């Protein structure tokens, strides 16, 4: 069973939001958009860690049964 990669996808969306946070002609940072991007990245990191932990537990259980 392959590990889910949903967390990596969510992190990539967060990094895209952060990359697009400087907008306008003067390239001034849009702070609310930057904060939203950071929150999305943090959610993605959490999701990735939890998926990885669950995958490793299932892998260990499968090896112990054999």
pLDDT 10s digit of each residue in the chain, 66 long? 566 789 999 999 999 999 998 887 788 888 999 999 999 999 999 999 999 999 999 888 888 886
Per-residue DSSP letter, 29:
E
List the domain boundaries for the chain: 4-64
Distant-in-sequence, close-in-space partners of 12: CB < 8 Å, separation ≥ 6: 44
Q: Which bin fits 28, alpha (ψ -120 to 50), beta or left (φ > 0)?
A: beta
Tokens of 39: 């929150």
Q: Which bin fits 24, alpha (ψ -120 to 50), beta or left (φ > 0)?
A: left
- Integer-rounded Cα radius of gyration of the chain: 17
């Amino acid at each position: 069973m392959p590990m889910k990669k949903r967390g990596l996808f969510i992190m990539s969306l967060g990094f895209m939001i952060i990359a697009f946070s400087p907008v306008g002609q003067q390239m001034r940072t849009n702070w609310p958009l930057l904060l939203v991007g950071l929150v999305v990245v943090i959610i993605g990191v959490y999701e990735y860690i939890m998926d990885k932990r669950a995958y490793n537990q299932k892998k260990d259980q499968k090896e112990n049964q054999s």
